[in-house]
Structure 1
């Protein structure tokens, strides 16, 4: 059986924006005017980014999100169609404009981002509940992955997590940015995916401890603590150092391939998450999912843009064969 034949779907609750990119040599100082080296526009928002990353790997994706009644919405629907995600699944708000993000990228590939949430803030919990129920009434397949991030309203995330979990879906949470979700919701996350900063905030908020993450070893210890006390499994992403993960009594470090160059780090974490849920949707292990995730992130930083930098299935398989051995305990 091929990968695509064995794959179940992913249902994503998330934000969707139009990204405007500005490329500069150095970030301007306060009050300084500079000339940019170029600019671009693309699809964005953590939810949409992760949906694209998963869809490019052949995973069927359903999306719960909202846009405005404007030209940006038409652009987003067109992008969804181009990436194989049904744009008709997006709700339309008459009260809010489509979400937008303004991203400045310097010559080192670092970025600053300002987000105007717009229509992403106009969704109500009952809308999410109705969409989840509709999806599971129409399709009773086992193995569905339900994915949410920290960019959506806490009420929506908690409704989505409990509604999907009650219907047998595996809930995955990318707590980015960090928000104070209930312990009951965090306990449903399998895995819970955070970066180093979010892991520190989580340890302090939920456990009452502050764990200094200064490298792979301390991050792996933090993952073990969080997996024992917060969520059944935890992944902490480490940028160029790959990721660490903990599940049950096991924990491990997964190194990342070294990029040939770093062009733009925007959205690399979303490439990681999209690859993780894609692998889980086909029934593979968390260890294998993390391996695919770090490879996807490494490819993404080699290219400009967000969704335009994400690998296809063939590109990612080639990277995995060449550069990404399974992480060791």
Structure 2
């Protein structure tokens, strides 16, 4: 494997979940009654790489699939989207994960993950990492899910240590309590075991944050890392834990961004008629990467990322719904 050169390095390398999304082609219908489905490339880290590629960035994913037809589909889809798949490798003993969802607009999109006995993307091993490429990438993006099990946990922390805060390192707080043995999304949701799952995850989130320069997540996700739920308090706590920029997504209240140097931006949401909100956060992430690489100020960067997320929320799919820069700019010009 060749080392990336200064002119050939990646704008973005993401590391984490990959799989196949099986989404109903009917809305407002339970899975028990859905008759037709669409198949799409999925997984949060993968969607972010696709979203940034659609913004014109050179991107790659570090992940693993099963050695099965769905794994072949994933490689084909990544290449079609212009995402480098050299670090997406097969695991013979586990099937490629699939995820089903139900679509009840505007704000109810239950997910059903099929990742057992173990997801291949949790079998990323430290010794397999291309540390030179990770160090060279302009942006490196990891997720909370990558910390939930070994060997992915050790691999994620090894990648962060190798990176050593060179360039921009983004920690997507990405909270899925079921991957940590919990139920209930956050303490505020009254989940039976959500708070205990958060307590289990927090030390690993803290370890990752020590290496990150940017943290991004919603209030529930920020609570995993900080134990707090007030957005401004969460942002300050994340800064205190070592990041330079904290981005707190607040749903209908918009997004809050706070930089260590004192700059702050609080941007309202971009209203759209929601069809499927599941890919909006990943579209936001890809647009955020584009803005960081472009050196934008906080407020225009948050407005752009919000708009990119809104565009996807108004579409059915996730990966194939990611907008181009031209689409985002036209969308903003209409507002």
Task: Normalising by structure 2, report the TM-score.
Answer: 0.80
Q: How many Å apart are 1:293 and its aligned residue?
A: 1.3
Flag structure 1 segments of 5+ consecutive residues without an equivalent.
29-33, 205-209, 214-218, 324-329
Distance in 2 (alpha carbons) for counterparts of 1:275 and 1:99: 26
Q: How many Å apart are 1:254 and its aligned residue?
A: 1.3
Query: Could you give the per-residue CA deviations for residues 219-270 of structure 1, whole angstroms, max 9, x where no partner exists?
Result: 23432343234522210111232210111223221122211x1111112111
Residue 37 and residue 237 in structure 1: after superposition, are their counterparts in 2 closer, same or farther (change >3 A)?
Answer: farther
> Which residue of 1 is the match for residue 266 of structure 2?
253
Residue 281 and residue 85 in structure 1: after superposition, are their counterparts in 2 closer, same or farther (change >3 A)?
Answer: same
> Which residue of 2 is the match for residue 236 of structure 1?
248
Q: Pick one of 8, 14, 27 that aligns with 1:12.
A: 14
Residue 303 and residue 161 in structure 1: after superposition, are their counterparts in 2 closer, same or farther (change >3 A)?
Answer: same
Q: How many Å apart are 1:160 and its aligned residue?
A: 1.7
Aligned residues: CA RMSD:
2.4
> Which residue of 1 is the match for residue 213 of structure 2?
190
Within 5 A, what are the aligned runs for 1:137-286?
Answer: 144-152=138-146, 153-165=152-164, 168-177=166-175, 179-180=201-202, 181=204, 183-204=206-227, 210-211=228-229, 213=230, 219-248=231-260, 249-259=262-272, 261-286=273-298
Alignment coverage as a number of residue pairs: 293
Q: How many Å apart are 1:151 and its aligned residue?
A: 1.9
Query: Could you give the per-residue CA deviations for residues 194-242 of structure 1, whole angstroms, max 9, x where no partner exists?
Result: 10111223221xxxxx44x4xxxxx234323432345222101112322
Q: How many Å apart are 1:102 and its aligned residue?
A: 1.6
Q: How many Å apart are 1:107 and its aligned residue?
A: 4.4
> Which residue of 1 is the match for residue 187 of structure 2?
none
Corresponding position: 1:305 with 2:317: yes
Q: How many Å apart are 1:38 and its aligned residue?
A: 3.7
Q: Pick one of 303, 327, 334 that aligns with 1:291.
A: 303
Residue 286 and residue 66 in structure 1: after superposition, are their counterparts in 2 closer, same or farther (change >3 A)?
Answer: farther
Aligned partner of residue 110 in structure 2, secondary structure:
strand
Q: How many Å apart are 1:302 and its aligned residue?
A: 0.5
Aligned partner of residue 306 in structure 2, secondary structure:
helix
Distance in 2 (alpha carbons) for counterparts of 1:144 and 1:111: 33
> Which residue of 1 is the match for residue 77 of structure 2?
79
Is the CA contact 1:49–1:306 (under 8 Å) kept in the aligned structure 2? yes
